[in-house]
Amino acid sequence: MTRARAKEIDIALPHLRLAGLRSGNRHGPKLLAIHGWLDNAASFDALSPWFDDFDLVAIDLPGHGRSDHRPRGAWYHYVDYLYDVLCCVDALGWPRFAVLGHSLGGAIGSVLAAALPERVEALYLIEAFGPISTPSEKSLALLRAALGDRAGIDAKQLRIFPNLDAPAAARRQHPQMPLSADAALALVTRGTRQVDGGHVWSSDPRLTLTSAIRMTEEQIRNCLSGITCPTRLVLADPAMPFVDQVMMNERLALVPQLVVARLPGTHHLHMDIAEPVARALRG
């Protein structure tokens, strides 16, 4: 399918500015696309033509892509993204909307749907169902690690790449989340900015810090049990090594209107095999 034309947009929130891409039918049902950690709105370039009957807005989350970074001294706490998304849809004038979410974006969408069922009318999730959990007995170690990471972040120097091939190659080196060459180039084209001598990452270095606080698995399951909207989830087969399959199956059993499809691919399968993923999501 021909890639849909997307319009670059800025969305003014009360506390910062989000960048995004808008495509599809402005009079259609509303669909907010939320990307994964360290990705950006280009994550949905290949998938967006299969949702061209929607008014589709793919955002760059704060600190990602072309959106503003959080103010100096702030953290990137998971719950703050929920507020960002709510401010975003309010700024767009959407009283009700669906979420298309990959990885972190899917985690955000699933918790938001549980917390505000009157606003989220459907979920289309890829490689995500709820956020990462941490056992309560690891809370202190997590906090110590986060504070230790934070101490040196202001002195971090950004690496300058001579061209886009270099950061694309760097993105492909993650052993647990392999990327195709095309997918990596799409993400780094939007996820870098030009400086003297080449390109640097546009994402906020604070995104790589250890999370100071995470919910326990019991807390997350309690949240997910509140999802009442129709939900479709695509998971990669084989599962990524960081996914606990027993824990995932326990989460999936909580939502009666959940339809799950498992497709051959990697964590970013929606960028590489857009059509099968779209058909699984759209039913």
Residues 139-148 pLDDT 10s: 999 999 999 9
- Into how many domains does the chain fold? 1
CA dist 63 to 50, 70, 232, Å?
28, 6, 28
188 inside domain? yes
pLDDT at 3 over 70: no
Query: pLDDT value at position 178?
Result: 85
263 inside domain? yes
Q: pLDDT tens, 146-175?
A: 999 988 787 778 899 999 999 999 999 887
273 inside domain? yes
Question: Are 100 and 124 in contact, with CB atoms under 8 Å apart?
Answer: yes
Query: pLDDT value at position 1?
Result: 54
Instruction: Look at phi and psi of residue 90 and say left if phi exceeds 0, alpha if psi is from -120 to 50, else beta.
Output: alpha
CA distance 16 to 141: 32
Instruction: Write out the catalytic residue numbers.
Output: 103
Residue 195: which domain range?
7-282
% the chain with pLDDT above 90: 88
CA distance 142 to 136: 10
196 inside domain? yes
Burial of 148 (0-12, 13-18, 19+ CB in 10 A): exposed
Q: Looking at residue 90, which CATH number applies to its domain?
A: 3.40.50.1820
* DSSP letter, residue 161: B
Q: Once rounded to an integer, what is the mean pLDDT over residues 126-147? A: 96
1 inside domain? no
> Whose structure tokens read 């995470």?
214
Least confident of 110-119, 154-163, 214-223: 154-163
47 inside domain? yes
CA dist 281 to 84, 105, 169, 183, 261, Å?
25, 15, 30, 20, 8
Query: pLDDT value at position 174?
Result: 80
173 inside domain? yes
97 inside domain? yes
Q: Once rounded to an integer, what is the mean pLDDT over residues 55-61? A: 98
